[in-house]
Structure 1
Amino acid sequence: MSGLPTPPPLDDTEYEHYVESSLPEPSTNAAAVLDEMKCPTKVPYERRMGDTELSYFLPSRQTGVNDMYLHLGFHAPERLVRRPRVRTVYAILRLRHPMLSARVEMHDYDDVRFVYDAPSSVEDVLDDAEANLEYRHQSKDELIDTYLNGPRTLSNTRLSYLILSQPTDSLLPTPPRTPSPSNSGSDVQQLHDAEDVVPGEHSYELLICAMHFLGDGMALHQFANDFFGLLGSEKDDAELEAVLEAEWRSRWENDAPETSVLPSCLEDHLPVSSSRFRRVAASIDFQLSQASQTGGQNFPRRKHPDRHTIVPTVSFPEDRTKAMLRKCKEHGVSISAALFAVCSVAWARAGSSARGDLPTMMYSALNLRPYFSKAKEQAQERALQESYWFLAIGYFNVILPSFLPKEGQEKTFWHRARMAKAQSARAAKSKMVVSRTHEMARERGERARIWAREDDEKERGTWVPPKPSASPAPPSIKDILPARTPGPSSALLGLSLLGNLDGMYSHASFPALKLHTLTTGSRQRHGAMLLFGYTFKGRLWVSLGYDENGFEEGVVERFWKEVGNCVEEYLG
């Protein structure tokens, strides 16, 4: 794998299994009232994708690589999850965030556009929500497996989708609460039901589906919090319909906005110097940073015609999570930095055939919102203030040794956690973040266009290998530095470290809805792997999404077992 690895997004998804809902349909009288509020015509808005968005869109066209999902398990009274109420809440959020209701039109490999038709009435907004909402009777595991491994749910005309499921077994009497793992337990157990279901409540599973080029993982979580905030509010159904009506009137009843209601692409939000010297310097810096990324560890892969992604997940009870956080703080690191060290040590123990003289490189996501240009924000003030659905992530690498000393392994572990912390901070605080983001976006966009054209031509049977270029190559860092053999730059895996998600979910604002389980990820390419780490409901969660058919038998299982062992041994 040459160059900086292109990561499977989070930070790298058409299932037509409809189950007729037993919940009542909306009132026909309410629908008739809403039908009277119309604006004359639909107003289309469009904008071209930027390079970062293209790098996610083009690989996703065939099988949905990168399509994101967020699963949340919760308990709620049946009255709060009836279809009319859910549809109204979903309609409000789709109205606030037009990217969710947009479609994609591809004119050329470098001309792909978001197109959004302004809703002509409140009923138009409700119809849009209804068309992208589905009720099922599947379990959490069935929902996620269907989304990851079944026919694609999303498409160019369906960029987002919502599935609410009431598992069949939740209709039966509630079983006793499942005991949590104890502090003294030696095995990391998977959490199932985190809370008892009180009389009148049922168990539900929510799956939020969205294209990755619409936004990042933080947009998913903010959307989920807003969804539960409206759904679990004290407003009755009529009051929620009034909110929808008021918001549609404020946006579309009178003159349509002249400026675009679609947030700008990532590159347009980041300032670019007009100086030619600075642009050349940025290009050289980017090439130097690329050349310094060295990694020589890989999970041994195998060829298999079918991709099958699984997501083993472990959760730790609140008391143990607090103890882990306390121990990390004592050593001057966060849980996120510790998880880099966990993966490093786990790989050293499980990857016995790996070359220990080459380091281990792992990649993670970097939030780019703090670097946005204020001038660009002001130009897009309405869209940015009202919508958080836009893509704003970059990537950075953490490089750690791949060997383990025979003695003092705990000391080594915490030293590597501090190394990971330092490298992460250096990436976030670098003065070259913006220029490197532009250079990486340009490179990834160009690579995605080349591969997409090649894939399409191969499918049509017209592909011809390109001839070597007769024109001289543009200047590069190789023309400045002495010649040297490039080092390997393979990444072992990616880590999506989401931090404390309880800081994003206002549980107290929707007390009737009791969230207990969270799982997230995306549809993957063959042989992909991504580890997630976060705290939710006071618990530490660690999950590993990977293609079980894409790796040699047993190697990932050994690594995952060692991840659990390292957490037990070093974090407590």
Structure 2
Amino acid sequence: MLSDLDAAANNPAPCSVDRRMGDTELSYYLPARANGVNDMYLHIGFDAPDHLVQRPRVRLVWAILRTRHPLLSCSVAMHSYEDVRFVYTPPLTPQDALEDADNNLEYKSVTKDELIGDYLNGERTLSDQRISYLIISSDTAPLPTPPLTPRELSDVPEAEPDHNYDLLICAAHFLGDGMALHQFANDFFGLLASEKSSQELEILLNEEWSQSCRLSPGKVFTLPNCLEDNFAPEPSNLRRAICKVDYQLSQGKQIGGQAFPRNSRQPRRTIVPTVSYDVDRTKSVLKRCKANGVSISAALFAICNMAWARVGNGPPDLPTLMYSAVNLRPYFKVNPPHDSYWFLAVGYFNVVLPNFIPRSIAPSSTFWHRARSAKVQSAKVAKTPMFVSRCRLTAEERGRRARMWAKEDDERERGTYTPPTPAPTPAQPVKPRVPSSALIGLSLLGNLDGMYKHAAFPAVKLHTLTTGSRQRSGGMLLFGYTFAGKLWVSLGYDENGFDKEVVQKFWENVLSAMDEFL
């Protein structure tokens, strides 16, 4: 690695680059300011020999990836509700990069549940000055607490036993999305469990720093685009007007009248009950879905629909609306200024299903019909030629609402809030708006084993994955994915924000429907 004096001589003065947040990023940043709402986490449980998880090696890998993906090392500067910026100051030397990584790395000796519970319900881990963080924990293996001097760790006993470790990757949601989290985790283990010695990792850090951070004549530092800037602009005013009309019409079709009974009298407490199905059962489930012409993702919409209908708690004449996210990367048209995959690229869509179960039809027939309906609705959303314009206008609406609510929250905190003047009563009767309540959100991650290249890092065995985010009061999200050959289903929700008996009955119905139909 270059000495600090050599590196400083070639890169004598600090510099920085900033980039204004887009509407989608703002819609996640502004609510997060107070208590970290939407701060993401990815937990992975893994078995590994101790020498691979020592702090000197982990922080080298962490430093390499932070150098490769500059948004991870940014801070945030808020100038106004409209002007919030990522600010990136490249490290002056490779040693600075290593120290920055070490300052954003923590070792603990707690259980997986304690690790996740503290992140979700304790004091906020992230901040404007720290928008990514890494935690390594084990309640069985010895972990070094103070930073250790980097050293060569190649002389390892051949029969060194494996221990169980827990990795928690923490990142603000305005920084990226689930796709970025999982790609990062795969890259992290690819480097951590590689055959590279610590000295070779130091050389790689030096190369990354030289390529990404060293000042040179004509060099321009860049950051990944915001989501909206990755779309091709609308070609004309007429096209923009057509898009707005289409957006309004599409919004009017999103009808939903089902919702869990709320209870906001207690502080938020998020829990994440999780169920996994063994490899053989998972293969059987996937085979059954394929035979009925649907993916497990479409089937989970139908599972939630049937589970809620069996709770019998909502008006039967109003349908069930559920929402989910879609990866927008395939729709980008603009050449990115940076090759990092750390950026936010999610859009949203809804699936609407009836809230009753016909008595004259076998429940299994109803279930598979609704799973196919969810598949058709999902495909229709993604294939419509207006999809990108709808995503852009949704982002504008989310940004507008986030700025309005942030301003109101700040005024309430200062005691200066004045309610807006009520709108005058219209002379003509106004057509009532259709209800659009969402029952639940589904995060359907698909087959994560297609993203994690397990065979590329045989020295570690990834066996458990849990993901989610810090929620607002009354938040709820169901996760479904396959990982390590297993199907996983989890329900992250604020147990103090809802009627506990209703949520418990719903979750029981979800699990019983999984057994009945899948």
TM over 0.5: yes
Q: Is the Cα–Cα contact under 8 Å of residues 35 and 122 in structure 1 kept in the other structure?
A: no
Measured at CA, do residues 231 and 35 of structure 1 come closer, stay the same or move farther in structure 2, by a change above 3 Å? farther
Counterpart in the other structure of 1:362: 322
Structure 1 CA distance for aligned equivalents of residues 277 and 160 of structure 2: 27
Structure 2 CA distance for aligned equivalents of residues 66 and 371 of structure 1: 24
Structure 1 CA distance for aligned equivalents of residues 266 and 288 of structure 2: 45
Secondary structure of residue in 2 paired with 1:206: strand
Structure 1 CA distance for aligned equivalents of residues 325 and 370 of structure 2: 19
For 1:485-500, what aligned pairs fall within 5 Å after superposition? 485-500=432-447
Structure 1 CA distance for aligned equivalents of residues 5 and 297 of structure 2: 50
Return the letter of the residue paired with 1:516: H
Measured at CA, do residues 149 and 283 of structure 1 come closer, stay the same or move farther in structure 2, by a change above 3 Å? same
Counterpart in the other structure of 1:85: 57
Q: Does 1:249 align with 2:249?
A: no
Q: How far did 1:279 drift?
A: 1.0
> Pairwise CA RMSD of aligned residues?
1.9
Q: Does 1:505 align with 2:452?
A: yes
Q: Is the Cα–Cα contact under 8 Å of residues 68 and 212 in structure 2 kept in the other structure?
A: no
Return the letter of the residue paired with 1:410: S
Measured at CA, do residues 396 and 257 of structure 1 come closer, stay the same or move farther in structure 2, by a change above 3 Å? farther
2:387 pairs with one of 409, 429, 433: 433
Counterpart in the other structure of 1:157: 129
Report how many aligned residue pairs link the two structures: 499
Report the more deviating stretch, 300-309 or 255-264.
Answer: 255-264
Counterpart in the other structure of 2:481: 534
1:453 pairs with one of 407, 425, 428: 407
Structure 2 CA distance for aligned equivalents of residues 334 and 238 of structure 1: 45
Secondary structure of residue in 1 paired with 2:389: helix
Counterpart in the other structure of 2:366: 412
2:170 pairs with one of 176, 189, 209: 209
Q: Deviation per CA, 1:445-487, whole angstroms, max 9, x where unpaired?
A: 01100100000000000011123579xx9xxxxx9xx963221
Counterpart in the other structure of 2:239: 278
Q: Does 1:98 align with 2:70?
A: yes
Q: Deviation per CA, 1:348-383, whole angstroms, max 9, x where unpaired?
A: 112x2311110000000011111111xx21xx34x1
TM-score by length of 2: 0.93
Secondary structure of residue in 2 paired with 1:398: strand
Return the letter of the residue paired with 2:489: V
Structure 2 CA distance for aligned equivalents of residues 315 and 145 of structure 1: 19
Measured at CA, do residues 569 and 256 of structure 1 come closer, stay the same or move farther in structure 2, by a change above 3 Å? farther
1:333 pairs with one of 287, 294, 307: 294
Q: Does 1:566 align with 2:517?
A: no
1:396 pairs with one of 349, 372, 385: 349
Q: Deviation per CA, 1:239-297, whole angstroms, max 9, x where unpaired?
A: 00000011111223341765442101011111121411111111111111111100000
Q: Is the Cα–Cα contact under 8 Å of residues 171 and 202 in structure 1 kept in the other structure?
A: no
Structure 2 CA distance for aligned equivalents of residues 120 and 256 of structure 1: 16
Counterpart in the other structure of 1:76: 48
Q: How far did 1:170 drift?
A: 4.6
Secondary structure of residue in 1 paired with 2:401: helix
Q: Is the Cα–Cα contact under 8 Å of residues 14 and 90 in structure 2 kept in the other structure?
A: yes
Measured at CA, do residues 236 and 405 of structure 1 come closer, stay the same or move farther in structure 2, by a change above 3 Å? same
TM-score by length of 1: 0.85
Q: How far did 1:539 drift?
A: 0.3
Return the letter of the residue paired with 1:361: L
Q: Does 1:305 align with 2:252?
A: no
Q: Does 1:515 align with 2:462?
A: yes
Q: Is the Cα–Cα contact under 8 Å of residues 272 and 435 in structure 1 kept in the other structure?
A: no
Return the letter of the residue paired with 2:435: P
1:372 pairs with one of 311, 319, 332: 332
Structure 1 CA distance for aligned equivalents of residues 176 and 257 of structure 2: 31
The runs of 5 or more residues in structure 1 that have no matched partner are 1-29, 173-197, 474-478
| Identical aligned residues as a percent | 60
The runs of 5 or more residues in structure 2 that have no matched partner are 144-158
Return the letter of the residue paired with 1:561: E
